[in-house]
Chain A
Amino acid sequence: MPVMGTFEWLTMGLIATVPYMLLIILVQHVLGYYLSKKYDPHFFKSPYFTEGEVAVYSSWPLSLIRYATYIVFAGFPWLVQKRRFKGHASPYLPGAYLKLGCQLWLICTVLGILSVPTLFWLMWLQPVTA
């Protein structure tokens, strides 16, 4: 195994974000699929989604936006209650474990998103080699 410097470790970190983000998307699919069965009959229609949104969010890959909306609603309802799901609260919220799963997903996703520019920035700070 060659000796790796800071730059190489940062590069490996950047490489690791790819499987990490793919895993995030996989979990998003699982959670979103489960939640959409529960929420679609109530929410996936006017006035919560426009007719155009219903058409484009019905199939992959844009269905991921619908899944993300449901996950955010289940994990941090206040984030989407101000706009899309105005006035909707307790009757549709999930159990404690599912809520925790949705919260973890959102936190991990935000960390993943922030990691790439951070890694780029740290790599940029490394000294230029000849």
Chain B
Amino acid sequence: MLPKQSLNTDTILYRVQPGDSLNKIINNYYGKVPLQKRNDIIATIQADNPKLKNPDRIQANQLLQIDIPPQYCATPRAQKLTPLLNIDKALLKPLQQQYQVASPKEKRTISLLTPMMIGTGAATTMIDKTFQTNTPLVAKIAELYNEYKENKITKGQYDSGRKALLTKLKTNLGPINALLNGKKSPNEVIRISRTKGSVPTRNITQQVAKMSKLSRVASGGGFVLSIAGLGIACNQIANTSDVQVKNEIFVESVGGFAGGLIYATSATLVLAIMATPVGWVGALIIGVGGGLAGIGAGYGAKTLYTTRGNKIDLTKITKVNQLCR
């Protein structure tokens, strides 16, 4: 449950309007907040309104006691992030040129790397999401500091609020913190600047900017890797005149993709049923395992096709040769 937010909340009596839901009311006052915080807010509302048995069922004209920020949507939101890199053909062109001059051995290595690249793409997307979700926590520290300087909260409230936010940030970032701050922990980096002539919250602003920048890089990188992985397989098919080789590449790519998908779905189900907590290490193992499962399945499918397959053109039947030209 949220700590009673005397430090930065007002309490109001809200009359429920027709069509209102608790989520809608929270959106009005807090803006878009992370899921955990939303759950905490709902729990606080329930605690303040003992008659509210089911938060999904509120009725028009019902009165609710709600803690809200002093100004609506005062909770700092993540810095507006540029969505994805604009991928145009020019970006992939050097990759295609490199591929065309590669030796058969290099081409073979690239084909084995394809599923791993797609898996890495998903992993970097996950990193992007982590930064996007946690940037508001850092911004909140600066806000707390400003409130303390304006005497709205005491030193003790500022210290405990800062400590709670840093602990949460450390847990959320996990090993990804190393990408951001090297060996330094968030506590060491996110400090009030005592340098004469500088803005006290300078370090915090820098950290927010760094997270936003890394988020953009991760987001763009994940997209590029995914597109490049799929593009390379397609490119290989387009650049090979030998029908048998086309089919081998196709079977290998499909086998790899199917293997990765099956691995990911199985892992999801097992984790859901077994309720084994997955931290960052577990998540990374799952990611790498998916890539390896993809490589293994792709290799197996290709071996089976070359040793047991007849000479039927699967790329023609599935019209992949028309798609990858």
Q: A39-65 CB contact bits vs B (8 Å, 1 = yes)? A: 011001100011111111011111011
In residues 1-59 of chain A, which contact B (Cβ within 8 Å)? 1-2, 4-5, 7-8, 11-12, 14-15, 17-18, 21-22, 24-25, 37-38, 40-41, 44-45, 49-56, 58-59
State whether the Cβ of B174 lies closer than 8 Å to any Cβ in chain A.
yes
State whether the Cβ of A113 lies closer than 8 Å to any Cβ in chain B.
yes
CA distance in complex: A106, B269 (Å):
9
State whether the Cβ of A112 lies closer than 8 Å to any Cβ in chain B.
yes
State whether the Cβ of B91 lies closer than 8 Å to any Cβ in chain A.
no
State whether the Cβ of A97 lies closer than 8 Å to any Cβ in chain B.
no
- Does B272 contact A65, Cβ atoms closer than 8 Å? yes
CA distance in complex: A44, B36 (Å):
8
* Residues of chain B contacted by A59 (CB below 8 angstroms): 126, 129-130, 132-133
Known contacts A21-B258, A52-B171, A80-B275; is-contact A15 B314 (Cβ 8 Å): yes
CA distance in complex: A8, B261 (Å):
22
CA distance in complex: A80, B259 (Å):
26
A-B contact count (CB 8 A): 159
- Does A58 contact B55, Cβ atoms closer than 8 Å? no
Q: B252-290 CB contact bits vs A (8 Å, 1 = yes)? A: 001101110110111011011111011110010000000
Residue from the list A22, A61, A68 in contact with B125, Cβ < 8 A:
A61
Residues on A lying within 8 angstroms of B by beta carbon are 1-2, 4-5, 7-8, 11-12, 14-15, 17-18, 21-22, 24-25, 37-38, 40-41, 44-45, 49-56, 58-62, 64-65, 68-69, 71-72, 79-80, 83-84, 106, 109-110, 112-113, 116, 120, 123-124, 126-129
- Does A62 contact B126, Cβ atoms closer than 8 Å? yes
Closest-CB distance, A126 to chain B (whole angstroms): 5
State whether the Cβ of B65 lies closer than 8 Å to any Cβ in chain A.
no
Closest-CB distance, B111 to chain A (whole angstroms): 17
Residues on B lying within 8 angstroms of A by beta carbon are 23, 34-36, 38-40, 42-43, 55-56, 122, 125-126, 129-130, 132-133, 171-172, 174, 251, 254-255, 257-259, 261-262, 264-266, 268-269, 271-275, 277-280, 283, 297, 300-301, 304-305, 307-310, 312-314, 317-318
* Residues of chain A contacted by B307 (CB below 8 angstroms): 128-129
CA distance in complex: A10, B176 (Å):
42
Known contacts A21-B262, A69-B272; is-contact A2 B312 (Cβ 8 Å): yes
- Does A127 contact B312, Cβ atoms closer than 8 Å? no
Residue from the list B35, B261, B266, B272 in contact with A80, Cβ < 8 A:
B272
Residue from the list A49, A50, A51, A124 in contact with B304, Cβ < 8 A:
A124
CA distance in complex: A112, B174 (Å):
33
Closest-CB distance, A117 to chain B (whole angstroms): 8
